[in-house]
Chains A and B, each alone.
Chain A
Amino acid sequence: DAGVIQSPRHEVTEMGQEVTLRCKPISGHNSLFWYRQTMMRGLELLIYFNNNVPIDDSGMPEDRFSAKMPNASFSTLKIQPSEPRDSAVYFCASSSSVGYSNQPQHFGDGTRLSIL
C-alpha cells in the first residue's frame, strides 16, 4: 500500500515568496495532520483535519500560514510570504479516527524547506 505522499521533497526559495506544500494521505484515512520539525522545537502540530474539516489550527504560527483540504485525498499547506525562520522539515501524517479516538498516525517523508 502507498504511504503518505508529500511533495516536493525539498524546496529552496527566497524570503517573501509563496511556498505550497502538498500531501496525499493514505487511502481510507479520515484524519490528516501537518507538523513542523526543527532541532530546537522538535515536532510541532500545526493543524489537523478530520473528514476534510479543520479541527484544531491552534499550532499555526501566524496568518502567513494557511492549510486546506479540498477532498479526502489531498491537502496543501501554504506559507505566504515566507521568512527564513520558516525553514524546517514539514511533515504530513494521516490516521483513521474511530468514534472520538484517533488511531496511530502514519507519516510521509517530509518536505525540507529552506528560506534564504
Chain B
Amino acid sequence: QKEVEQDPGPLSVPEGAIVSLNCTYSNSAFQYFMWYRQYSRKGPELLMYTYSSGNKEDGRFTAQVDKSSKYISLFIRDSQPSDSATYLCAILGNFNKFYFGSGTKLNVKP
C-alpha cells in the first residue's frame, strides 16, 4: 500500500464551481499535511499546510484533515480558469520523509 493515494483525475468543472480534491494516507502517525499546486512546466508551489485535524482556510481555499479516517481534502470555492493545474497532496511521515500523492489534474472551464 502506498503511503499516500490520490485520484489522478482529470477533473473538469465550470468556472464558479466548488472543487473538492482528496487524498488518503496509510499511517495514522502522520501529522503534517500539505497541498501543492503545479502549473504546466513549473515546479510544485506550496498552497497550504496544517498540522491538525479540522479546517484551515486561506481565501478561496480550505484544507481539511480528518485524522480518524486518514483523509485530507482541499476545497476551492468560486473556481477560476487560473486554478487549472495539477494539485498534489503531501504528508510528512516517519524519519522526516515527505510523501507526495500522484496529483489530480484540474481544468476549470470558462
On A, residues with C-beta under 8 Å from B are: 4, 33, 42-43, 45, 48, 50, 55-56, 91, 93, 97, 100-102, 104-110, 112
Q: Is the Cβ of A107 less than 8 Å from the Cβ of B44? A: yes
**B88, CB-defined interface residue at 8 Å:** yes
**B1, CB-defined interface residue at 8 Å:** no
Chain B residues with Cβ below 8 Å from A33 are 98
- 19 A-B pairs within 8 Å (CB atoms) are namely A4-B43, A33-B98, A43-B88, A43-B102, A45-B98, A55-B96, A56-B95, A91-B43, A91-B44, A97-B96, A100-B96, A104-B46, A104-B49, A105-B46, A107-B36, A107-B43, A107-B44, A107-B45, A109-B42
On B, residues with C-beta under 8 Å from A are: 32, 34, 36, 41-46, 49, 88, 90, 92, 95-98, 100-103
The total number of A-B Cβ pairs within 8 Å is: 49
In the complex, which of the residues A43, A45, A56, A97 contacts B44, with contact meaning CB atoms closer than 8 Å?
Answer: A43
Q: Do A45 and B97 contact each other (CB < 8 Å), given the known contacts A101-B32, A102-B92, A104-B49?
A: yes
Other 9 A-B pairs with CB < 8 A, given A102-B98, A110-B42:
A42-B101, A42-B103, A43-B102, A56-B97, A97-B96, A102-B92, A107-B36, A109-B41, A109-B42
Q: Do A105 and B45 contact each other (CB < 8 Å), given the known contacts A42-B103, A43-B88?
A: no
Q: In the complex, how many angstroms separate the beta carbon of B27 from the nearest chain A beta carbon? A: 16
Chain B residues with Cβ below 8 Å from A107 are 36, 43-45
